[in-house]
Amino acid sequence: MIGRAPDSGRVDMGDAQPGPAQLPDRLRGELGRLAYSGLVVGPDHPYLFDCWVAVIGPTPVLCFTRLHQLVGTEVDTGALTDSLGLVGADAGVRLARCVDKLARVRALINAGEQILLSPGIRVLLEPELDLGGDLVRDLHEAHLAKARSRRSLPEPPSGRRSAGNLGEREG
């Protein structure tokens, strides 16, 4: 879904605390609070796979989706890395890096053995769209246009985009 949420804004990818080198052996996924104002997309929304992938990379995007499937359960960290195709001696470190990246964009809070997942992630901001290039910008615009037409929303005033709630899931 694309919806609205409290507090916002741009997240400076550089000001976060360094993440842990390794995660605990077991993780518990819980649903946390939404950390954004403005438009948000849910964990199965195609916007994640179309647009967010350019900014945080494919592994964090699919990790966010996967963690949402495991909300309310405790999962073995090794099983989580296997399920994401992270293999090799550094698989745990790569997963920790991936969780850290998600934490930097406020998609989750890493609280040791507990991962507090945001119900959704905001849509991309201008500098992030620049990072993704024209392909991603076009897809971003298409998603917002689709949301507007579905909700029959008027064009947002003063250049501020408003997409309403898509309620869309892939598959």
Residues near another protein (CB under 8 A): 44, 46, 49-50, 53-59, 61-63, 65-66, 69-70, 75-76, 78-80, 82-85, 131-136, 139, 170-171
Nearest distance in Å: CB 100, another protein: 15
**Distance from C-alpha of 106 to C-alpha of 133, rounded to nearest angstrom:** 23
Cα atoms in the 13 Å half-sphere on the side-chain side of 169: 4
Reduce the DSSP state of residue 29 to 3 states and report it.
strand
Nearest distance in Å: CB 62, another protein: 4
**Distance from C-alpha of 97 to C-alpha of 116, rounded to nearest angstrom:** 16
CA 111 to chain CA centroid, Å, is 17
Residue placing its CB nearer to another protein in the complex, 30 or 44: 44
Residue 111: what are its φ and ψ, rounded to 5°? -115, 60
Residue placing its CB nearer to another protein in the complex, 103 or 129: 129
Nearest distance in Å: CB 109, another protein: 22
Residue placing its CB nearer to another protein in the complex, 2 or 56: 56
Residue placing its CB nearer to another protein in the complex, 5 or 47: 47
- Token pair belonging to 38: 């403005």
Nearest distance in Å: CB 49, another protein: 6
CB 66 within 8 A of CB 80: yes
